[in-house]
Chains A and B, each alone.
Chain A
Amino acid sequence: MKHRENYSLNIKRRELYGLIASIFAFGLAATLPIFNTGYVLSLGVTIVMYTVLSTSWALFSGPTHYISLATAAFFGIGMYIVGGGLEIYSFPILIAIAGCVGAILAALIGLATLRLSGVYFVIFTLGLSELIRQLVTWAQTTMGTSSGLYVLIDVTESQIYWELLTIAAFVFLIGWCINRSKIGFALKIIGNDEKVARHVGINTAAVKIVLFMISGSIASITGAILAPRWTYIEPTIAFSPMLSFLVVIMALIGGAHRLWGPILGVIPFALCWDFITAKFPNQTALMLGLAFLLIVYAIPHGFAGLGEKYWGKFKHWRDFRV
């Protein structure tokens, strides 16, 4: 029988195994730059980046079912903070600033839209990165002379990879803590029935905003870390709406209802995406479209849900066979 614990109970043996396995996996992943610093590493950076973004996206959107398309906005802001601030502050400080700015922006978006229906939220976040991109482009062309910013800092691909991996570990840790905390329990209730949630005394708006802030802040930090990967950043790179869509698809294909779900979507989809963009650059939109339809019509709970279903069947078969 499927059963999840209250937020209050102690660590179970299964969770301990999970913890050990994750530490092992992270350790293994961290050795990648030793073996390859070329194509495989750059693919690794992409995968870890999408793991961070999708997992933190699912922290908020998994339980609440709000589809946020603001990832690109947060990401781009993080990137621009590094691009614009390198002459004044050091890189680590800028990453911290990016995290704070992301959180503040998320709080503002949340205050304006989260009390309304989900459609408003989607539309608002969909347009947000576009809006910010237009404003940044306009500001750069009217005030400055160029359309982009140089990020001249000596950071290797391996360093970026390790930094992202650290953030990924951090995201999983946060997710794990949330799941076991009071706020995680509140989120489960909100995801089930918001009306009940309010009537048992949960300040639903506050819970949602806090989660959205965490998610937005992580996306900004990710953008900041990745800024040195491009030596020259432009609004079209930093605020690419495609990023938001990819994050949504990967998280949902993997399964947004589990902490470990999105990563199941990230790895296959990122590989596919890499292949498609290299071989059939004109068919990327088609592939995105098909992925969305796949999520809705074939695997509504993602690979994680699919796996759980068959695991359940297998256990049933194992336990009850004569």
Chain B
Amino acid sequence: MDIVIVGILLGGAYALMAMGLQLQYGVAKIMNLANGEMLVAGSFAAFWFFTSAQVSPLLAILVVAPMAFIFNWLVYKIFMRYLVKKARSEGQLEVNSILSTFGQSFILVGLMLALFGGEYFSYSYLEKPYTLFGQPYELNRVVAFLFAIFFCCVLYFWLNRTRLGLTLRAVSVNPEASGLVGIDVPNISALAFGLGGAVTAVGGSLLSMFLTFDASVGVIFTMKALVIVIMGGVRDIRGTILVAFILGLTETAVASLIDPGLTLAAAYLLFILILLFRPEGIFGKRST
């Protein structure tokens, strides 16, 4: 029971992080391998606000989200758009965006190392016990979870109930056809890329409330987000959310039952099984 609840609480933040990547990959068609660094940047921002000005991480989000949006929007406009225009084939775009975002991720790591140094960081915010089903849990985990779920819901309804959300989904399904019906695909892609970055950074701020992080931990989160997105089926947000919880549960179970050092191994085992048996993801349609 303990494992289930901790796992679910962790899954909330994972869901947010993976949704960010999914927006970038699904709509803008860029597999952003600097996603984890964006998350860590969000964590650092929350940490900085909290330690230097005693600003609650939950308030810091109000600053983190727009900053991350602008940053990622610019990254898309400056770096990725060029690749999209230059690419002669989907495969070429894929390879180039992988290399380019790898480069960006290393640069971000380098910058964060230069700014904050290589130590581990954490801060104590809302470190009070909170009783849930007769068991005490840290309040910061619960609050982070609630916020994550809130943002997930907002994003889900925004995508499914608004005109702009519909536009985004259209581009995700078929960029060429979207262009033909008058959608400004380059700008929508930039918007999605920026939004994805913002969502991920918010996930990072929330995670920083209860996790210890350092400048180079981003790649682990990138891998987790990738595993979630691919397992969930690239276009399906419900799949992403469900898999995020599955991953949260699996990691918690492995960490508490076997060894905390094996969490990534567990994520990878799941990933391998999915690749072998349902490469299109749990909810993905079987492509031809």
Contact = CB atoms under 8 A, between A and B. Distances in A.
**Do any CB atoms of chain A lie under 8 A from CB atoms of chain B in the complex?**
yes
B82 A127 contact: no
Range, interface on chain B: 35 or more
B275 A112 contact: yes
A282 B223 contact: no
Interface in A279-303: 282-293, 295-297, 300
Given A131-B264, A142-B259, A286-B107, A123 B230 contact: yes
B37 to A, nearest CB: 10
B70 interface: no
A10 interface: no
B268 interface: yes
Nearest to A113: B275
Given A65-B95, A293-B100, A138 B261 contact: yes
B111 to A, nearest CB: 7
Given A127-B264, A135-B265, A290-B107, A119 B91 contact: no
A207 interface: no
Nearest to A191: B91
Contacts of A282: 110, 113-114, 118
B105 A120 contact: no
Contacts of A296: 83, 96, 99-100, 103
Interface residues of A, number: 42
Contact of A289 (B92, B106, B118): B106
Contact of B216 (A67, A134, A137, A285): A285
A114 to B, nearest CB: 11
B98 A67 contact: yes
A150 interface: no
B49 to A, nearest CB: 24
B1 interface: no
Nearest to A109: B272
B110 A119 contact: no
Interface in A246-289: 252, 282-289
A63 to B, nearest CB: 12
B31 interface: yes
Given A113-B275, A116-B275, A119-B94, A241 B219 contact: yes
Contact of A252 (B94, B99, B271): B99
A172 interface: no
Nearest to B114: A282
B181 interface: no
B79 to A, nearest CB: 8
Contacts of B275: 112-113, 116, 120, 124
Given A286-B111, A292-B103, A118 B91 contact: yes
A286 B82 contact: no
Contacts of A128: 268
B22 to A, nearest CB: 13
* Most chain A beta carbons < 10 A, residue from B82, B83, B113, B118: B113
Contacts of B98: 67, 118-119, 122
Contacts of A124: 271-272, 275
B102 interface: yes
A116 B230 CA distance: 12
Contacts of A118: 91, 94-95, 98
Interface of A: 65, 67, 112-113, 116-120, 122-124, 126-128, 130-131, 134-135, 137-138, 141-142, 241, 245, 252, 282-293, 295-297, 300
8 contacts: A118-B94, A122-B98, A126-B223, A138-B265, A287-B110, A289-B105, A292-B99, A296-B103
Given A119-B230, A284-B110, A289-B105, 12 more contacts: A67-B98, A112-B276, A116-B275, A123-B227, A131-B268, A134-B261, A283-B110, A286-B107, A286-B114, A291-B103, A293-B103, A297-B100
